A and B are shown apart, each in its own frame.
Chain A
């Protein structure tokens, strides 16, 4: 396989996107090195989903450039896998789990050609990886939220990509599925894949990811979690609407384990102000 390590996996330069007059993304620069597991974090309406969609060519940018391993997306799309938001499709569509997973091979198949036994086999393998093989022939409307998410992940797996974009894969799934998905993401990273994941739960960023991009229309910060995921940056991203647990009093032991990182407890709707820093 080609050695991609000398260029960034994803490069975004001066990207601006607007719906009517409203900027959704403003002058965003982003370099994602190969082999990272990166969270994109930011408040609602920060443009997280839009950023992914622009990179994938689904939304047109007003200005800016996007490249995948130094080339345009349309030349590199075979290297890219995509997991859309689970809620973006109609789960009452008359089709089976296996059928949906095989859609991940449609790009490689190209026009007209139908999926055959090879596609079937790789779809079953992917279902095995997400623990859904037994449900391969089930109608998709009979799946739980977590199972729907696993189907989408399996579909991305059969794309056999180098870079994966995932839009809120943890949205509304149970704890078991969440653990399974995290394990899968980390396994993919261990295989050298690059993963960019839109994520909502600030509490788990430190545990799940090694890199993070903080986004609120503008890119606030991007880099390794222990450098970037700081109180100052979070406050810049969420506009001071974050309450922190005072960990020096509550859980001193845990704080010692992660000396550089603040774990935000929760994001609140009203401005409750900022709590004390965990390790002064």
Chain B
């Protein structure tokens, strides 16, 4: 019932619909491009870009006295871009490593942004209010034209990504090989980072500079758990981003005064936790089950092997032996009784007396096979 209500609201309620569409757009764009950042181990770059965007927003407002999203987003993009150039410059020209360079640039730009924001707050005009929503995001402030701007910019970004699909894949997987083929890898690198900057600044108004990097990293990390193909990863990551965006925006606008950033990030975190735990092949639960199965199989093989070794000292390979002997052989470790029950249910061992066990003919064949494999 509640879901039905919600669905109706999403379609009919203007505010909620705008908020949901905007959040879905940012989720799709940052989810898709985030894959490249994650695969290139540049997750922190997203963090630096988003934090660095804050002074850009503030300066754009100071210079233009306008709060039009396009103006602020442009300021954010330029600042994010400049920050990236600083990082690259520091890495290339000093002995400071990339992680430290990212940390430096992030904190310096963010502090400048905070100072500027405080200055703007203290200005005597009334126009400045609302700029601080860029810190933690406020999806409820989205207007239809904002969403149109986001969707067209985001759509363009995704088109470029698809256009250079093959080249970007080469850049992420084996850049040196790509360069040997004659592709200008440095140019592609700058292009891909530019797309990432656009993806990040698109989400700033909704998610905020503090948490935006989560929307770059988290959907991609979750998607990687479920698929082994780049295409699948990008699609799934975009999908996760959209779900988290809409979910977070709806939660934020239905409760009073919760900023959108944290709710969106909590939504995507839930998806990440679920993916890390339950995804087939790479998930923790799956791994645990697999290792248990392997362990059990190994234990069974040990007992079968012991029985075979014992029996081969008799003329009859199906000669029976007591549990005590088997226990002694495996030094009371490895769950011998349980393994024996398993072996009986497999039909490889039979229980002769209450406490005596013998190989069946099928068990002899199995034991021989295992013994040969071990040699």
Contacts and interface: CB of A to CB of B under 8 A. Distances in A.
A236 interface: no
Contacts of A94: 39, 224, 227-230, 232-233
B254 interface: no
A114 B173 CA distance: 17
A89 interface: yes
Interface string B159-197: 000011111011011101111111100000000000000
Interface stretch (A102-110, A188-196, A217-225, A267-275): A102-110
A114 B182 contact: no
Nearest to A105: B181
Nearest to A141: B228
B179 A107 contact: no
A95 interface: yes
A93 B179 contact: no
Interface residues of A, number: 29
Contacts of A80: 180
Contacts of A96: 228-229
Contacts, number: 71
Contacts of B163: 112
Nearest to B40: A90
B182 A89 contact: no
A156 to B, nearest CB: 9
A93 B173 contact: yes
A1 interface: no
Nearest to B182: A77
A112 B161 CA distance: 11
Contacts of B228: 94-96, 139, 141
**Prevailing SS type, chain B contact patch:** helix
Interface residues of B, number: 27
A253 interface: no
Interface in A58-98: 58, 74, 77, 80, 82, 84, 88-90, 93-96
A58 B178 CA distance: 10
Interface in B87-108: none
Nearest to B173: A93
A100 B170 CA distance: 9
Contacts of A93: 39, 172-173, 230
B276 to A, nearest CB: 15
A77 B173 contact: no
A12 B224 CA distance: 44
Nearest to A109: B166
Contacts of B166: 106, 109, 112-115
A103 B169 CA distance: 9
A154 to B, nearest CB: 13
A107 B173 contact: no
A107 B183 CA distance: 8
A99 to B, nearest CB: 8
5 contacts: A58-B180, A80-B180, A82-B177, A114-B166, A115-B166
Interface of A: 53, 56-58, 74, 77, 80, 82, 84, 88-90, 93-96, 100, 103, 106-107, 109, 111-115, 139, 141, 155
